[in-house]
Structure 1
Amino acid sequence: MTETLRVVLADDDSLIRTAIDAILRPVDGIDLIAQAADGRAAVDLAVRHRPDVALLDIQMPVMDGLAALREIRRLAPAVRVVVLTTFGQDEYVAQALTDGAAGFLLKESAAEELAYAIRAAAAGNAYLSPRITRQVLDRLPAPPVRPDRDLALVEGLSGREREVLVLLAQGLSNAEIGQQLYVSEGTVKTHVYRLFTKLNCDNRVQAAMLAQRAGLLGS
């Protein structure tokens, strides 16, 4: 029997909390055990309950999401943190990843993506919303031209894996990649998993950055 993942949620917007609760309640294997309306309360819940995953909003009173993330990582390092944000707040992504976030997810993400991000984080993987991946890549300075290490890693990919990598780096979701390549979303997920393994990447942003450095995205 699969172990149930225990989740705490912190967001100062009660409507968001209600919506996420409604999304997660029918999902098998995920239990939203506690909620908070500010960052300090989120830290307290994480320390008290030691959940598998904490979902944290970025902008909260008393203590913002980034500060709460750092405190949770310090006081309860086994708790994996997925940061919730709205579209256009991608300036926080780099800092959140540096501070130890296991995922970065748009609040308007579909139920399936939210559940997937929670499971990925709990399993020790990192998950970033595809739309955030593209935004972050656009903000980065121009990378060094075709480093040997990155080229060697890319050359170890199959032709289909390279196609998936390019589309991933362009910000497409797994479903959109599947539509482009005429394969199922499950097949794309398998390719993405293999990509991360072969490229030594933890998330979509890292894979996209490598693709850019290797010259796969053009000028």
Structure 2
Amino acid sequence: MSHSIAASIYIIEEFALIRQLINNLVKSLPGYTIVGRSASLARGGEACLRHKPDVVILGWNLPDGTGDRLLRDVAPALPGTRWLVVTPQESSEAVPTAIGLGAQGVLVKESDPATFRQALARLVGGGSFYCPRSSRLLLDFVRNRTRSNPDGLTDREVEILRHFAAGAAPKSIADLLRISVKTVQNQLSSIRHKLGVQETADLVRYAIRIGVA
């Protein structure tokens, strides 16, 4: 996206008050334009296919279903669109589901405006953003699931991948496992090589798919 053109934003949220608050917050920021708002999956999906926005702000719980439907059915048809999912804080399964289906950003509704602005800027810039609470929800999900090691990953690599996918930095992983940061970095490089991926979001999605995240 050219920096001279405002990033287009579409909002899908059930509750009118929250929808309006998100609208007002986005409009208060330079460099963004809102191309539409919807309160349902059906209307939101149709509008997104028509407008092809740069970012969709997607409330998870809607009158006609949950946000995973759009991530499955609509997102693949919009490769240039990035998805920022906003989920209730208590919805622990929504976070790994959203990330596993390709959402580039996840916020809980309790997130403050500064965190929202940071997430929006990160997605528009081509990156990913998962708020601290969503990372903790993902870690809880990780701890409750175990699977065998696929794709030739060693036990140590799976352990490192599990912590990394939950949002832990290499230094934190090194301290937790009592190994050097260099060892963690080497293991992450080995994981990327074995899986044929480079992006952090791809590693997170892979970890979710195999059940270690």
Q: Same fold (TM over 0.5)?
A: yes
**2-side partners of 1:149 and 1:86: how far apart?**
28
Please state how far the C-alpha of 1:165 moved relative to its aligned partner.
6.5
What's the counterpart of residue 17 of structure 2? 15
Query: Could you tell me which residue of structure 2 aligns to residue 52 of structure 1?
Result: 54
- The whole-number CA distance in structure 1 between the counterparts of 2:96 and 2:103 is 10
Q: Is the 8 A contact 1:82 1:102 kept in 2?
A: yes
Q: 1:132 to 1:166 in 2, by over 3 A?
A: farther
Partner residue of 1:191?
none
CA contact (8 A) 2:84 2:103 kept: yes
SS in 2 for 1:81: strand
Q: How many Å separate the matches in 2 of 1:149 and 1:133?
A: 16
Q: TM-score, normalised by structure 1?
A: 0.66
Are residues 162 and 65 of structure 1, via their aligned partners in 2, closer, same or farther at CA, if it must alter by over 3 Å?
closer
The code of the aligned residue for 1:75 comes to A
Structure 2 residue ranges without an equivalent (≥5): 150-154, 177-187, 193-197, 208-213
C-alpha RMSD of the superposition:
3.4
Aligned residues: 173
Shift in Å, 1:74: 3.0
Which residue, 62, 69, 75 being the options, matches 1:73? 75
Given the alignment, which residue of 19, 39, 55 partners 1:37?
39
Cα distance per residue 1:38-83 (max 9 Å; x no partner): 0111111111111100011111123431102222213323211111
Would you say 1:84 and 2:86 are equivalent positions? yes
CA contact (8 A) 1:11 1:60 kept: yes
Say if 2:96 and 2:141, in contact at 8 Å, map to a contact too.
Answer: no
Cα offset for 1:122? 2.6
Deviation at 1:30, TM superposition (A): 1.7
Q: Which runs of 5+ in 1 are unaligned?
A: 155-160, 170-196, 210-219
Q: In the TM superposition, what whole-angstrom CA distance separates every residue of 1:175-205 from its partner, at most 9, and x where no partner exists?
A: xxxxxxxxxxxxxxxxxxxxxx9884525x9
Percent identity, aligned pairs only, is 23
The 3-state SS of whatever aligns with 1:146 is: helix
Distance between the aligned counterparts of 1:149 and 1:134, measured in 2?
Answer: 17
TM-score by length of 2: 0.68
Counterpart CA distance in 2 for 1:23 and 1:44 is: 24
Q: Is the 8 A contact 1:9 1:35 kept in 2?
A: yes
- 1:202 maps to what in 2? 200
Would you say 1:110 and 2:112 are equivalent positions?
yes
